[in-house]
Amino acid sequence: MEFNSFSFIVFFPIVSIIFFVLPHSLRWIWLLAASCYFYVQVSVSALLLLLAVTAVLFCTGILIEKYRERNNQRTARIYLVIGITLPVIMLFICKYLNFFNSNIAAIAKALHLQYPVPILKILIPLGISYYVFQVISYIVDIYRGSIQAEHHPGIFTLCIMFFPKIIAGPIERPASLLKQLHEKQNLDFGRISDGLILMAWGFFKKLVIADRLAIPVNDIFNNVVRYDWSHYLVAAFFFTLQLYADFSGYTDIALGSSRVLGFRLADNFRKPYFSISISDFWRRWHISLSSWLRDYVYIPLGGNRGSKPRVYFNIFITFLISGIWHGANWTFITWGILHGMYIIIGMITKPVRDTITRLTRIVRFQSLHRALQMTITFILVMFAWIFFRANSINDAGRMIGGILNGLFSSVRSLLFHDFTGIQFFSKIMIRKTNAITIFGFNSKQYLIEMTILFISLGLLAMTEIIQREDDFIAMISKKRTIFRWSFYLIILLSILLFGMYSNTQFIYFNF
């Protein structure tokens, strides 16, 4: 089941009403049943697999705690290894085995060797990457002694399988949600109202903005040979916006639906495209993932302790794992490595950049300085997103090469006053089988769709500028009544009138 489906619109109110009607002692049973039903709409086999692994990890957590309290570190460490290895093996088999096989087969073919292992048809449970990171953090935290093992099998299973976050996060630390699941959630109409508003904002981002941007993005990225460098540039820019609207929209719906039920999940975004550096970007983008990688990969590797080469190595490995986590494709691995190199190069060049900043005295113009930093960061992030979205490394290379060549040719033409050499859109209209399209839109609908899109993007940008350091709900609650209700009406009408009801899957459902 997906959030942007009619089934969820029916499912969620029923779950919420019955949840508050039931006594506290039975609510966990109802939520667990609802979560299983939510997931079983995807696959019965995948649900059974995750439930089986969850049962094993529940017992493993208790055993780790038992032997740690007895100061039997050796046995506790054995169960720690089991608790980490089991979900990792499951993740590898389900998500990466065919990728591994295909690459080994390609190497064997290049060396004129036989590699008879075929590509297997393997079930890939939705949200498996999120599931694995959450259970690993639970097992590791018990071993570290930072949390106690959960002894209620139903509550533990519900914590891991809780339907708002099971498919695409956020990567909730089990300790936080476990505590809330034991507490009684009272009926609070103010909190329910806040949750519904946050959900509506998420639906607006997804249905009005992200799914509308998906049309030109998919058309260009899936047909790179039909387009030229200017279209590639537009596709990269549009995908940068689409991914944020799509993923943050999902997160808003997840956080909002949880808040309606009385639970608070971790925030996942903090205006990432206002970042002034790549490091700042990762403090604002997919926060639950970046903090997980920091706590369970980067710091255990040594963090920023040790020599500079060692720190650079730790950063590189952390972002390599980030890329691999996102998908079994060299495009994701390249994307992860690229972000790691951004941060490493930024650390190496910091003295030089600080010297340039001091000599130019640009810091006297703080707004200009910040705008320049934000622009450079946005361009670097957008460049990396090309690899993230491209169907293959070859497609990404073709698009990046085309963009660089096109920009170089245009700049050279400007320098030599050859204005005839500047052709930003050499072919804006693409003729297909039965129609002429502009960026994937029917030529008759293009202006209407672009008008809706840019007005919606303007509303999103304005909201994020006004939001400052508050979360969305806190920002809205501070406004006057007439502003709040006007805003609610605009969002509701936009969803009803301009939403793209194509039931397009959320992008991060793939991970």
Q: What is the pLDDT of residue 289?
A: 94
Distance linking the first and last C-alpha atoms of the chain:
16
pLDDT exceeds 90 at position 433: no
Q: What is the pLDDT of residue 418?
A: 60
Total length of the chain: 511
Question: Over 235-292, what HEC string results?
Answer: HHHHHHHHHHHHHHHHHHHHHHHHHHHCCCCCCCCCCHHHCCCHHHHHHHCCHHHHHH
**Cα–Cα dist 390/232, whole Å:** 11
Please tell me which residue, 185 or 386, carries the higher pLDDT value: 386
Which of 253-262, 357-366, 461-470 holds the top average pLDDT? 253-262
Are the C-beta atoms of residues 83 and 117 closer than 8 Å to each other? no
Are the C-beta atoms of residues 231 and 424 closer than 8 Å to each other? no
Q: Which candidate in 326, 339, 369, 417 is catalytic?
A: 326
pTM recorded for the entire structure: 0.90
Q: What is the DSSP letter of 506?
A: P
Q: What is the mean pLDDT of residues 6-16?
A: 91
Q: What is the mean pLDDT of residues 394-410?
A: 90
Q: What is the mean pLDDT of residues 227-232?
A: 88
Q: Which of 17-31, 286-300, 393-407, 495-509 comes out lowest in average pLDDT?
A: 495-509
pLDDT confidence of 83, banded at 50, 70, 90?
A: very high
Please tell me which residue, 193 or 42, carries the higher pLDDT value: 193
pLDDT confidence of 376, banded at 50, 70, 90?
A: very high
pLDDT confidence of 470, banded at 50, 70, 90?
A: low
pLDDT confidence of 508, banded at 50, 70, 90?
A: low
pLDDT tens digits, 126-152: 888 999 999 999 999 999 999 999 999
Q: What is the pLDDT of residue 421?
A: 52
pLDDT confidence of 426, banded at 50, 70, 90?
A: low
Q: What is the mean pLDDT of residues 288-305?
A: 93
Q: What is the pLDDT of residue 417?
A: 61
pLDDT exceeds 60 at position 439: yes
**Cα–Cα dist 353/331, whole Å:** 30
- The 3-state DSSP class for residue 135 equals helix
Query: Which contacts (CB < 8 Å, 24+ apart) does range 374-379 have?
Result: 374/273, 374/274, 374/275, 374/276, 377/275, 377/276, 377/277, 377/278, 377/280, 377/281, 378/240, 378/273, 378/275
Q: What is the mean pLDDT of residues 23-39?
A: 93
Q: What is the pLDDT of residue 6?
A: 83
> What is the rounded average pLDDT for all residues in the chain?
88
Q: What is the mean pLDDT of residues 155-174?
A: 89
Q: What angle do CA 221, 224, 225 make, to 5 degrees?
A: 165
Are the C-beta atoms of residues 474 and 259 closer than 8 Å to each other? no
Q: What is the pLDDT of residue 258?
A: 94
Percent of the chain with pLDDT over 70: 93
Q: What is the mean pLDDT of residues 394-401?
A: 94
Question: Over 467-490, what HEC string results?
Answer: HCCCCHHHHHHCCCHHHHHHHHHH
Q: What is the pLDDT of residue 52?
A: 92
- The 3-state DSSP class for residue 431 equals strand
- The closest alpha carbon to 204, from 489, 508, 505, 509, belongs to 489
Tokens of 173: 């630390």
Please tell me which residue, 478 or 360, carries the higher pLDDT value: 360
Buried b (16+ CB within 10 A) or exposed e, 205-241: bbbbbbbbbbbbbbbbbeebeebbbbbbbbbbbbbbb
**Can 326 be counted among the known catalytic residues?**
yes
Q: What is the pLDDT of residue 299?
A: 94
> How many Cα atoms sit within 13 Å of 326 on the Cβ side?
24
Q: Which of 30-34, 173-177, 381-385 comes out lowest in average pLDDT?
A: 173-177
pLDDT exceeds 70 at position 424: no
